[in-house]
Amino acid sequence: MYRQILIGGEAGQGIAKAAEILGKAFVREGFYVFNYRDYPSLIRGGHNFNVLAISDEPIMSHEFEGHDIVIALNDDTVVKHAAEMKDNAVIFAPNRVNAEKKISVDTDAIIKELNVPRIMENTILIAAAWKYFGMPFESLEKTIREELKGNEAAVKAARKGYDAVDAGHAIDEHPERKPRYFISGSQAVALGAIASGLDLYIAYPMTPATPVLHYLAALQTKYDYQAIQLENEIAVANAALGASYAGAMTMIGTSGGGFALMGEAMSMQGMSEVPLVAYLAMRNAPSTGIPTYTGQGDLKMAVNIGHGEYPKVVVAPGDPREAFERTIEAFYLAYKYRVLSIIVSDKHLAESTYTIDEFSPRVNPSRNIIDVVPSDYKSYEITETGVSPRAVPGQADVPVRATSYEHDEYGYTREEGEWAIKMNDKRFRKVKYMAEEIARLEPVSVYGEGNNVIVSWGSTKGAIMDAIKRLKGWKFVQVSYVEPFPVDQFKDAVKDAERIVLVENDVTGLLGQIIAEKTGIMIDERVLRYDARPLTPEYIIRRL
């Protein structure tokens, strides 16, 4: 069973909120819902739309083909999306919108009668669509109360919309109702950070990383941490290093342009070994690119951020479940090994909402601050694992140092070659221990069975998972840890493959380049999408 609803209108007409409410109501009824959000970089006007993919089985992508219902808040939505409709599909729209196959809802009359703001047209129309699919009003009502914080006028408006149409196209298959989660990648990253013991989130707004700042700001009082916006990304990264040095569990977040500005500070992380977690939400690039659309073009920037050589962790979740769990792992590894952990997401994962059955974090992060500071404490003590015991300033009457210069064990500046060798060796000794640990964190996942293999990473997971369900003989190998690269696990996952196809949302196949560098495996067959739109199952299947 599969149904697809498109909701479109201008920015400011409540398109995204309407989709969220309708999607959540379907989840409440036991369906799996994937909610794709498409919007231009503006605040009023333009064309915004969401696509809700609804199924009785897990679904993590949308098709852009075959809408069952289009909810059109304006004429533009009809013009742009009528051709994508199924033959028996209908358009729900206010009287003013011109369309064939239209089920008109007299929103003007309802708004006038109830004396509610015009933005409630969205609520009226989703209620009409809800009725059309034969769904019970009560679950929509409950969802509206949750999402609009007890707005009773909205509930009344929804009731009017619900009563205005007939159940024309009831969904017969009704899955069992089960408690699930309806959550976006951004929300999952934010919750993962909180669960990790976050003390400070420091950021500067940039799409599509901003939602994490918003969610964390909204929850800071409840969970007793702070979300702080500083003057620019350079301040953010350097302040975060200071905060983490002084003992706070600290995370920063930005998109590609902001991360480029943070590069020098990321390099300082490498030298100073101050633990830090960075959230990188990619968007279409280079440069300003297409700011509110997606892309995976920053993978190698993440792997190579900052001048010089230093160990780091780059982890790329593929859905909100992974976003939550991998964020916790990022904290765990950063604070255990005193390294930079970069969580790489993108607009598609960050701003799409998924239905998740369960979460199951594998690790429990800790500050890893030593209980007793020896009187001869060395901030950069050379140890077998390369990890120096961590103390913080103010803890004991022994100076704690962090430095951007090459240094000795106490953190004093040293320019002798001997110290450069000792400290580089110390820093890179961590990699072996991190890699062993990462090997236990499922750095490579294999889904499905077959001799043909799709290799990919990050948010493309959704479209690929839905594609291989319809393909025979294909499996999907997902790389989640890109640095340190899980060489053995990857080789093992592709060893019997007859065909290997690289699927990425970028121009040059960045993961493919990294695989070639790390494993010697050259992947010649590639499906690369770089129109700033996310991959869909159809897009992949047609090109295999």
Partner 1 sequence: MCAMTPNDLNTPAPITWCPGCGNFGILTASKMAIAELINEGFAQRKDFVITADIGCGAKIYDYINVNGFYGLHGRTIPPAVGIKLANPELKVIAYGGDGGLLNEGISHLIHAARYNSDITVVLHNNQVFALTTGQATATTEHGFKGKSTPLGTFEEPLNPIALTLEAGATFVAREFAYDVAHLKETLKAAIKHKGFSLVEVLQPCVSFHDTTQYFREHVYRLEEDGHDPRNFEAALKRAREWNYDLNPDAGVPTGVFYVSEDRMSYEEGWPSVRKGPFWKRKRERDWQEIVSLYGVE
- Residue among 94 and 411 whose Cβ is closer to partner 1: 411
CB 101 within 8 A of CB 67: no
Interacting positions 361-390 with partner 1 (CB under 8 A):
361, 367, 369
Sign of the dihedral defined by the CA atoms of residues 170, 175, 181, 184, in that order:
negative
Interacting positions 10-69 with partner 1 (CB under 8 A):
24, 27-28
By CB under 8 A, is residue 135 in contact with partner 1? no
- Residue among 171 and 511 whose Cβ is closer to partner 1: 171
Interacting positions 254-293 with partner 1 (CB under 8 A):
264-265, 268, 272
Sequence-distant (6+) residues with CB within 8 A of 14 are 119, 121, 122, 123
The H or E element containing residue 238 is: helix 233-245
Q: Single out the residue of 55, 61, 250, 460 in contact with partner 1 (rule: CB under 8 A).
A: 250
The H or E element containing residue 434 is: helix 417-439
Question: Cα–Cα distance between 257 and 280 in angstroms, integer?
Answer: 10
SS in 3 state form for 256-313? HHHHHHCHHHHHHHHHHCCCEEEEEEECCCCCCCCCCCCCCCCHHHHHHCCCCCCCEE
Name the minimum Å distance from CB 320 to partner 1: 9
Max Cα distance, the chain (Å): 82
By CB under 8 A, is residue 359 in contact with partner 1? yes
CB 265 within 8 A of CB 238: yes
By CB under 8 A, is residue 522 in contact with partner 1? no
By CB under 8 A, is residue 134 in contact with partner 1? no
How far from 182 is each of 23, 25, 197, CA to CA, in Å? 8, 10, 23
Per DSSP (E only), the strands in 67-156 are 67-72, 85-94, 102-105
By CB under 8 A, is residue 416 in contact with partner 1? no
Interacting positions 190-219 with partner 1 (CB under 8 A):
191, 194-195, 197, 199-200, 202, 219
Q: Single out the residue of 401, 429, 469, 543 in contact with partner 1 (rule: CB under 8 A).
A: 401
- Residue among 53 and 402 whose Cβ is closer to partner 1: 402
By CB under 8 A, is residue 405 in contact with partner 1? yes
How far from 28 is each of 133, 182, 191, CA to CA, in Å? 14, 9, 21
Stretch that binds partner 1, among 228-236, 427-435, 455-463, 476-484 (CB under 8 A): 228-236
Name the minimum Å distance from CB 130 to partner 1: 15
CB 513 within 8 A of CB 493: no
- Residue among 191 and 334 whose Cβ is closer to partner 1: 191
Q: Single out the residue of 104, 207, 238, 519 in contact with partner 1 (rule: CB under 8 A).
A: 238
By CB under 8 A, is residue 235 in contact with partner 1? yes
By CB under 8 A, is residue 453 in contact with partner 1? no
Name the minimum Å distance from CB 332 to partner 1: 13
